[in-house]
Amino acid sequence: MSEKLRHIALIPDGNRRWARSHGLPVVAGHQKVVYEVLPALVDKCLELGIECFTVWCFSTENWGREQKEVDALLALMGSFYDRFAKKIAQQGVQLTFMGRRDNLPANLQHDISRWLADTATNDRMILNIAFNYGGHDDILRAVNKILERGQYHEIGEQTLRDHLDTSVHDLPDPDLIIRPGGEKRLSGFMSWQSAYSELFFDDKMMPDFGPDDLQRAIDDFYARQRRYGK
């Protein structure tokens, strides 16, 4: 394949199963991914010249998990910048955010706004964090934005695309979506933007998914022929 791989999106899965298999509390799997796995994957993306790396950290459906785990995930997101993202920001990585912010705790909303502002001028790579994100919710919010602006007569493809979360920073659709953890579905991730994404599923749990595994997914991508329905 001669087409350049610009945007990789990741659905981290298997954190809880990994933790339980190691006799650890559920949050330990999430912590290992955020503090150890993601930094290594970001370094790999920087090495390869990837323009955008999206990571789905929390879905709109995750609110239905046990409150203890939800609280732990919110706290983990709160420590995300100081424990990990501050370092990569110094490497020239711009942080962007995809998802609803209106129902997040006020302190987390403030932190996210600060992270975006602090890295706004970085241009080496975009790390796009999908938090409190769902593909269907993304589309519904886009439609409601259009209706609020009085565009009732007709909603074309470009109009809808211009109101999706990815439009805020003009992000390209993902070329490659990777899901470790053994499940073979997208679970509503980037429902609109994933129409022609190449999919790579892996049986490894996310806490065990490292740079070499990312390279395997990329090699697989370049071995394919993208047809876009033609």
| Residues with active-site annotation | 13, 62
Residue whose C-alpha is closest to residue 59's, from 10, 138, 132: 132
Which candidate, 215, 213, 220, places its Cα nearest to that of 198?
A: 220
